[in-house]
Amino acid sequence: MRNFLVLSAIFLFFQSCQTINKKVDDVTQKEEERLGKFLKKTESELKIEFGKPDLVESAKNKNRVLVYFDSKFKIKCERRFEINKKNKVVGFSSKNCF
């Protein structure tokens, strides 16, 4: 009986981990879909949505990278948008944003 209880507890633990992973994957996918809508849009359209960037960096290929920081539940979210010489968004990345 004790073994059954231990195995049941382990099963429930792994089930909850799978549920959490699915939720994280869903939120990540929604974030990528949202940010993907800015590809090929102008820098000014990006700034209308996100405001003034917290940081502007230069990429190796001489493009600019606009960085936006946000915090939720003391977790630092970072969004990066690469802007080409024609002021169009050509790439993005997101870390810890949910």
pLDDT in tens, 64-97: 999 999 887 788 989 999 999 999 999 999 988 7
**Helical residues (DSSP H) of the chain, grouped into ranges:** 2-36, 43-50
What's the pLDDT score for residue 92? 94
Summarised one tens digit per residue, pLDDT across range 29-46 is 888 898 999 999 999 999
Q: What is the pTM of this model?
A: 0.73
**Closest alpha carbon to 68 in 83, 55, 82:** 55
d(CA 66, CA 83): 7
> Burial of 77 by CB count in 10 Å (0-12 exposed, 13-18 middle, 19+ buried)?
middle
Write the burial class of residue 73 (CB in 10 Å: 0-12 exposed, 13-18 middle, 19+ buried).
exposed
